[in-house]
Amino acid sequence: MQSHVVISVSSECPIVKNISLLTDSDPKVRRNAAEMLGRALHKNAVKPLLEALEVETDVDVRRVIVLSLSLLGGEEVYSILLHTLKEDTDRDTRRNAAGGLRFFREEINASELVALIIKESDKSIRDVLVSTVIFLRDESLVPDLIESFSKIKKQEIRECLLEIIGSHNTTDVKKLLCECSSPTYDKEIRFIATRAMVKMDEVKFIPTLYEIYDKDPNQELRDFAFKALNEISVLLGYVSVDQLVLEYIQKAKEE
């Protein structure tokens, strides 16, 4: 029994030690302590890390604290990450907070994240938020996303919204993707739409992919569409892309 107590106390010592080092005068020591507490995944470190974040002024230390809190989780952590994302002045700290939100699937309000994407001016943070919203797979967002896409004029925001929209497989999404593959849309929008169609692995997109390959003004996009068609034709046992396309164009006309 006595040896068990010794082992238990010993295993706790690194946690206690690193918590005490969060107030060390050397920022490198504080940073290392915060990192080790996150790696340890010990819930007792949550409160000390939250308290440290409130007073910490060194940017590198703050970034690590945010990462460690993301790993540790807890109800109080989610609101702090959200606040940090909205209010912190350091881009990398905000980006770490944005990435950490993914660990809080039960707490996240996906619509709130979409609203943050629309307001966000930093591309790297938008990209992280887009990835998190896609990860959530919340199909209820689709109607509002499509409406926002149609109304918002800012190109980089439209691209983000279409990335999220294209991760869903609904009739309205398929219709929009086909529409956005038209040369009337910006090149990047066309690329996003085409990539989304290819990922869906939907044979009904074959005529649209052929249209892109045949008529798109951008050579890179035409090559991408042809590569996708070629892979589909091989997978389905067709001797050529032309044979594949002719058959599915005919099927589309019959439907």
| Statement: residue 9 has pLDDT above 60 | no
Mean of pLDDT values over 230-246: 91
Q: What homologous superfamily is domain 1-105 in, according to CATH?
A: Leucine-rich Repeat Variant (1.25.10.10)
Q: What confidence tens digit (pLDDT) does each residue in 131-166 have?
A: 999 999 999 999 999 999 999 999 999 999 999 999
Encode pLDDT of 214-224 as tens digits.
999 999 999 99
Dihedral sign (CA 129, 134, 138, 144): positive
pLDDT (average), residues 163-181: 97
Tokens of 30: 């504080």
Please give the angle made by the CA atoms of 59, 85 and 20, to the nearest 5 degrees.
45
Lowest mean pLDDT among 5-19, 47-61, 212-226: 5-19
> In the predicted model, is pLDDT for residue 6 greater than 80?
no
Q: Per residue in 102-120, pLDDT tens? A: 999 888 999 999 999 999 9
User: What's the pLDDT score for residue 14?
Assistant: 85
Quick check: 130 pLDDT over 50?
yes
User: Which amino acid, one-letter code, is at 228?
Assistant: A
pLDDT at 53 over 80: yes
CA distance 60 to 237: 55
* Under 8 Å between Cβ of 118 and 152: yes
pLDDT at residue 89, as a whole number: 93
pLDDT (tens digit per residue) in 87-103:
999 999 999 999 999 99
**Please, are residues 227 and 186 in contact by the beta-carbon 8 Å criterion?**
no
The per-residue pLDDT for 10 is 40
| Domain coordinates in residue numbering, the chain | 1-105, 109-168, 169-255
Q: Model confidence at 5, in pLDDT bands (50, 70, 90)?
A: very low
Q: What is the pLDDT, as a whole number, of residue 182?
A: 95
pLDDT at position 8 over 70:
no
Residues 19 and 29 sit within 8 Å (Cβ to Cβ): no
pLDDT recorded at residue 255: 66
Please check the confidence at residue 4 and state whether its pLDDT lies above 80.
no
* Average pLDDT rounded to a whole number, residues 24-39: 96
